[in-house]
Chain A
Amino acid sequence: GENVEQHPSTLSVQEGDSAVIKCTYSDSASNYFPWYKQELGKRPQLIIDIRSNVGEKKDQRIAVTLNKTAKHFSLHITETQPEDSAVYFCAAPGGTYKYIFGTGTRLKVLA
């Protein structure tokens, strides 16, 4: 069946450094890939997304890259700040209607 794998499960970086989180998916028909940020006790919030007709998308310090051939997409956060500390989830379509989420990456930005 459809699957989304996310790595790493935890990531610690020094403030100001970059963080990269990678996801792989199995359904070659997938065409939309969102990234969500979830702070402790709060709802997942969409931070950036990408569609399969582009290879990269940027929004200030956040970027997402997509490699359709290899079926993976990555979240890049530059100039990390303590408020970037959270759990990040990727997702990909898992059929006609549903989305499959990755298992999450706990990012810690050390001041």
Chain B
Amino acid sequence: DTGVSQNPRHKITKRGQNVTFRCDPISEHNRLYWYRQTLGQGPEFLTYFQNEAQLEKSRLLSDRFSAERPKGSFSTLEIQRTEQGDSAMYLCASSLSGRASETQYFGPGTRLLVL
């Protein structure tokens, strides 16, 4: 499968626990995005990487959220001290620099449920 992959696909955790999600973009894509999607809403931008550099973070991303892309390939999104309001689908997308760079390809998402 050469598309964007995410792991795990589902995560159930108790409030206060830390969780980490992984995203593997399409191999030649240097741009990587994290979004959060709640039921009935469109994806909300969280953060953006170009190669290993995190170039933009949304105000939605509190200090409990951190994302990394250490080698410019896969990325991780960590949520510390989870809260029930963090329950959502976390989507990763990637794109390639260049004229068609705006086309973002999404992964299947990680559905998080915080009890």
Residues of A within 8 A of B (CB): 6, 32, 34, 36, 42-46, 49, 89, 91, 93-104
Contact = CB atoms under 8 A, between A and B. Distances in A.
A-side binding surface: helix, strand, loop or mixed?
strand
Nearest to B105: A46
Given A43-B91, A89-B42, A98-B45, 19 more contacts: A34-B102, A34-B103, A43-B109, A49-B102, A89-B43, A96-B56, A97-B50, A97-B55, A98-B48, A98-B56, A99-B33, A99-B45, A99-B102, A99-B104, A100-B45, A101-B42, A101-B43, A103-B42, A104-B41
A94 B103 contact: no
Most buried by B among A6, A91, A102: A91
Contacts, number: 54
A97 B47 CA distance: 9
A103 B37 CA distance: 10
A91 B103 CA distance: 11
B25 interface: no
Nearest to A6: B42
A94 B45 contact: yes
B72 interface: no
